[in-house]
Structure 1
Amino acid sequence: MYISQTLRRAVQLNGQGTATVFAGRRQTWREFEDRIACLANGLLSLGINAGDRVAILALNSDRYLEYFYAVSWAGAAVNPVNIRLAPPEIAYTLNDSGSKVLFVDDTFAALLPSLQPQLESIKHVVFMGEGECPQGCIDYESLVANADRIRDANAGGDDLAGLFYTGGTTGRSKGVMLSHDNLVFNALNVVAEMGYDSDTIYMHAGPMFHLADMASTFAVTLAAGTHGIVPRFDVDEVLAFIEQEKVTNTLLVPTMVNLLASSGRIANYDVSSIKRMLYGASPMPEAVLISAMEQMPTVSFAQGYGQTEASPIITSLGPEHHIWVWRWWCLMKMIRWYLKVRLAKYVRGDQTSCWVTGEWNQQPLIPCAMVGYIPATLATWTRMDLSSSLIEPRTW
């Protein structure tokens, strides 16, 4: 499996169909492929080689999606940086990953004066915003326009596709290494569960750096659907985009669903085009879910559960299981394809105690689990042979 395979399929099946919609810009899948093949060549001109890391620090945009595919097309690995991090944390992830090129937009270009002195490996900064290109940066559109289209590097299988840093709740963030197989097998799961096809119009309202939203990024492309993109979540902007573009699918984290449900503005917009609204990444309060379902009765809600290390989906909860019966939810978890899940029990106290707690364990039957965490030292990292997984196969 290789990420660019999803794009080739979209071009073959729906070449003249709309690939992206953002801020008044639209492009077909053939146009999208042409641009990312040129951008990939631009990356090579900046000294990017196979396996090198290319980072991005930006809000959502059509260029963010181009970045994902251009980096893969060039045979390199993505490093989408969490936009909520403080500058020292951003510098840490960039240095720890050994990223050589950094893409920034208008919002985060303002951080460059304080950020750049802390960076150890970044050689070039590409400005992908709409405003004037800052001094010392490379203009994104010029990088695309001045490069010829190149052939796909055909990176795939267990080649490194990207580094995705965890939240670091118990210490420093760890760089999760995900392969092409990891991300494409996840896409296959999501297409099957979400029912994506060429008529799908998926709205990226959650941050595109996050694997919760990225669970659908390669899946929508694989299905030759349309990526509708808003820069960030805003209640009226999201509702207006749904109405204008006839969005069929989206993912919102529970906080976003709560903001919609408590806004009192859903009735002001036509959201009947939405077939399925996926939620996840944090616990959903029951009252919020009930309120959202009542205000959007034509929308089917679904829950996804996963983790970065699982690339990311582990289980899902479809609309058919969102049933309110006698004040009890009829909740059933559907286990992801190609994955075993068990509830491990641990006895607390003495051996006669019957009070137990459970912990979800997963066992990948195909490459769903991460390759491993980034090694502790850059020297080890650069010497690592990624062809042999750091995660033992068929283990819990």
Structure 2
Amino acid sequence: MALTQFIRRARQVNRDGVATIFDGRTHTWTDFHERIARLAAGIRSLGVQPGDRVALLANNSDRYLEYFFAVPWAGCVFVPVNTRLAPPEVAYWLSDSESRVLFIDDDFLPFLPRLQGQMPSVEKIVHVGNGAPPEGLIAYEKLIADNAPMEDAGRSGEDLAGLFYTGGTTGVSKGVMLSHRNLVSNAMNVMRDMDFEEDMIWLHSAPMFHLADGTATFAATMLAASHRFIPKFDPGAALAAIEEHGVTNGLFVPTMMNMIVNHPDVKTRDLSTMRGILYGASPMPEAVIRKAMELIPTVGFYHAYGQTETSPLLTCLKPHLHTFDDSGRGKSAAGRPMASSSASRMRKAGSSARTRLARSAPGAPT
């Protein structure tokens, strides 16, 4: 039950298959394996030890996916930071998680002056960009180029994999500790109940810091499928990416789906490769889903419910259950329990563990 096993398997079963395409870069699963093993060594060269936290503040990209696997390969714990936060909130997440390294892309470099003196645990900052890094920052690609591949650190099972912050509407955000087993189990749920297939092409259009998109980040990788990215959601960019890359699956919450079906380009784009759309956060308005079914007749809709503490999915309403009754009204529900959902798992969801309670020891409670 190790996230890093996904990468070893992907190289074995689909070594020449395309893992990622973004910003003019294309990497096969063989390339991806090599890059994350080198990046993991680069992370360790910064002085971090197994169990240390490594944070990322960035928009979607192929490097975000590499981060999600290089960090556990190094034996460390990833902390994806919400890109919608203000600098004081980012500082709180970094401090509360005790992150020792911060990866940051060009879009968020302007945050750094306001974070100075506010992130005492951060010792190194890595520039996740294409150009020369600002003074004092370390170039992402240099970390890869300058380090030989390291062996997988071997973290698995109940070892802590990531901290995903949640809440904040009625108080400060709380770090939810998710183990390798948590995330691997969820990936297996997703593959089964959302009909993921090995030839799928997943579009990361929802923010990758959020576990909603994470449902596919790990499940699609487990299958050695293929990933495409847009930096952040824009309906026109999403439609263009679907056509250009032959995207088969993606996550579009109701607000996003409404923007897509009402976009002026929707009828001129070839969306015939689409097979599955995952949505959640709220029921899909009947007018929106009817219009979507007319515009993209090849697609099946999957309504999911979950929460961060359950890593994250609990239920799924599959396409054949998206039906309309004799009056023409649609039937909407959060779906049926997923394969490994259980009452005990749902009961545990109520207690999100504070970040500092179990620093990083193997077997830490999750």
TM-score class, shorter-chain normalisation, is over 0.9
More strand by share: 1
Q: In the alignment, what sits opposite 2:249?
A: 249
User: How far, CA to CA, are the matches of 1:22 and 1:55 in structure 2?
Assistant: 22
Q: Which digits, 9 at most, give the CA deviation of each residue in 1:189-247, with x for residues without a partner?
A: 01111222321101100000000000111100111100111111112211111111100
1:178–1:370 contact (8 Å) kept in structure 2: no
Q: In the alignment, what sits opposite 1:336?
A: 338
1:163–1:176 contact (8 Å) kept in structure 2: yes
1:206–1:252 contact (8 Å) kept in structure 2: yes
Q: Structure 2: any 5+ residue segments left out of the alignment?
A: none
Q: Structure 1: any 5+ residue segments left out of the alignment?
A: 341-361, 391-396
Deviation at 1:386, TM superposition (A): 5.4
- Residue aligned with 2:82, SS: coil
Q: In the alignment, what sits opposite 2:258?
A: 258
Q: Which digits, 9 at most, give the CA deviation of each residue in 1:248-298, with x for residues without a partner?
A: 111112211111122232101000100011111344323222222222222
1:38–1:148 contact (8 Å) kept in structure 2: yes
Q: In the alignment, what sits opposite 1:345?
A: none
TM alignment of 1:215-226, pairs within 5 A: 215-226=215-226
Q: In the alignment, what sits opposite 2:353?
A: 373
- Residue aligned with 1:323, SS: coil
2:56–2:80 contact (8 Å) kept in structure 1: yes
The correspondence for 1:364, drawn from 339, 342, 345, is: 345
1:71–1:78 contact (8 Å) kept in structure 2: yes
Could you list the runs of 4 or more consecutive aligned residues of structure 1 that deviate by over 3 angstroms after TM superposition? 368-372
Q: In the alignment, what sits opposite 2:279?
A: 279
User: How far, CA to CA, are the matches of 1:88 and 1:334 in structure 2?
Assistant: 40
Q: Which digits, 9 at most, give the CA deviation of each residue in 1:320-354, with x for residues without a partner?
A: 111122233244622111222xxxxxxxxxxxxxx
User: How far, CA to CA, are the matches of 2:351 and 2:167 in structure 1?
Assistant: 18
Alpha-carbon distance change, 2 to 369 in structure 1, aligned in 2, over 3 angstroms: farther
Q: Does 1:28 align with 2:28?
A: yes
* Matched residues, number: 364
**Greater mean alpha carbon deviation, residues 205-214 or residues 125-134:** 125-134
1:301–1:319 contact (8 Å) kept in structure 2: yes
Amino acid at match of 2:247: V
**Greater mean alpha carbon deviation, residues 278-287 or residues 221-230:** 278-287
Alpha-carbon distance change, 301 to 269 in structure 1, aligned in 2, over 3 angstroms: same
- Residue aligned with 2:75, SS: coil
1:126–1:140 contact (8 Å) kept in structure 2: yes
Which structure: larger Rg? 1
**Greater mean alpha carbon deviation, residues 129-138 or residues 284-293:** 284-293
User: How far, CA to CA, are the matches of 1:36 and 1:385 in structure 2?
Assistant: 23
Amino acid at match of 2:21: V
Alpha-carbon distance change, 388 to 101 in structure 1, aligned in 2, over 3 angstroms: closer
User: How far, CA to CA, are the matches of 2:307 and 2:262 in structure 1?
Assistant: 28
Alpha-carbon distance change, 176 to 58 in structure 1, aligned in 2, over 3 angstroms: same
Amino acid at match of 1:290: R
Give the TM-score, by structure 2 length: 0.95
- Residue aligned with 2:221, SS: helix
- Residue aligned with 2:324, SS: strand
Alpha-carbon distance change, 149 to 369 in structure 1, aligned in 2, over 3 angstroms: farther
Q: In the alignment, what sits opposite 1:354?
A: none
**Greater mean alpha carbon deviation, residues 166-175 or residues 51-60:** 166-175
Give the TM-score, by structure 1 length: 0.88
User: How far, CA to CA, are the matches of 1:175 and 1:312 in structure 2?
Assistant: 14
RMSD: 1.9
**Greater mean alpha carbon deviation, residues 175-184 or residues 123-132:** 123-132
The correspondence for 1:387, drawn from 360, 363, 366, is: 363
User: How far, CA to CA, are the matches of 1:388 and 1:138 in structure 2?
Assistant: 31
Q: Percent identity?
A: 49
TM alignment of 1:4-23, pairs within 5 A: 4-23=4-23
User: How far, CA to CA, are the matches of 2:7 and 2:305 in structure 1?
Assistant: 26
TM alignment of 1:1-396, pairs within 5 A: 1-325=1-325, 326-331=327-332, 333-340=335-342, 362-364=343-345, 372-375=352-355, 378=356, 380-382=357-359, 385=361, 387=363, 389=365
Deviation at 1:372, TM superposition (A): 4.6
- Residue aligned with 1:316, SS: strand
Deviation at 1:312, TM superposition (A): 0.3
- Residue aligned with 2:116, SS: helix
- Residue aligned with 2:262, SS: helix
1:310–1:370 contact (8 Å) kept in structure 2: no
Deviation at 1:116, TM superposition (A): 2.4
